[in-house]
Amino acid sequence: MPLSQDILFEAQPYLIASEKHPFVQGIIHATLSSEQLRYYDEQDIAFEYNEVGIINALINASTTTEQALLFHQRQALQLTMLRDWLDREPKSMPHNWETLKQTPIQPINQLYRQHMSATIQTHSVLQILPSFAAGEWLYIELGKFVAGQARVDKEPFRSFLTMGGDAFLGPNGFIQQFFNIIDHEAQSATPREQEQAKQTFLKSCLLEWYFFDAAYKQLTWNDWQQAALKGDGGPLL
Ligand SMILES: Cc1ncc(CN)c(N)n1
């Protein structure tokens, strides 16, 4: 069985868990507060900025020119999406390319970003790509899920979880091509390297759930500090 098929089989429960998460349900039913949306918006734009570094590493680690060109295309799309997102930011939360780099990174976002960045030092597409492809896959699948629900059709909820479109979907879309690359690289990898790649993918899926959870609860380092130093914390994770 190709590695990607094995990975996707094991990733299904994580997708279902995210579909059920109250943050995702809150997008469908338009029940999230503006504070919850604001937290997500701020953390996610910084997360996407971190992905720029991951995609750069993929270009560097590519084993063929075709791979490098594909990652380069994905990078161009990432930068275009970030530019348009920055332009859309409300006056109450102004972000530009410079201030983006100073966004305070809250605990789960930090954990997820570092999980992804830690793969860079392997210089291996097979190890780096799953850390990034998991979020791409999950967002595309959640987009399909949400589109199939009777979602409340009003902004700002309408624009959430809409990553998709022709560039991402179909046999020539990014996500299928990423899985093809994982399968190609897996052919010359050891079983241990293949297992490591799978576990990296699954950990990203798990951290996606926690990313929604952190936004739902608006968890900050301050909460963690209070819980630790004042001993007044309930379960924060
Ligand atoms: C947390 C998260 N994961 C994935 C994506 C899609 N690149 C995202 N915008 N945010």
pLDDT in tens, 47-62: 999 999 999 999 999 9
The domain in which residue 36 lies consists of 3-226
Main-chain phi, psi angles of 173, to 5 degrees: -70, 165
Ligand 1 atom having least distance to the Cα of 135: 4
Which residues, at least 6 apart from 106, have a Cβ–Cβ distance to it below 8 Å?
39, 43, 214, 219, 220, 221
Please identify, by atom number, the ligand 1 atom nearest to the C-alpha of residue 138: 4
The Å distance, Cα 81 to ligand 1 centre, comes to 12
Q: What angle do CA 121, 123, 127 make, to 5 degrees?
A: 90
**Could you report the per-residue pLDDT of 122-149, keeping only the tens digit for each?**
999 999 999 999 999 999 999 999 988 8
Is residue 231 in a domain? no
The tally of domains found in the chain comes to 1
pTM for this structure? 0.94
The complex's ipTM works out to 0.97
The answer to whether residue 164 scores a pLDDT higher than 80 is no
- Please report whether residue 53 resides in a domain: yes
CATH code of the domain covering residue 94: 1.20.910.10
The CA-atom distances, in angstroms, between 214 and each of 5, 9, 179, 227 are: 30, 26, 29, 15
Give CA angle at 231 (225, 237), nearest 5°.
Answer: 60
Pocket of ligand 1 (CB under 6 A): 44, 47-48, 51, 135-136, 139, 163, 208, 211
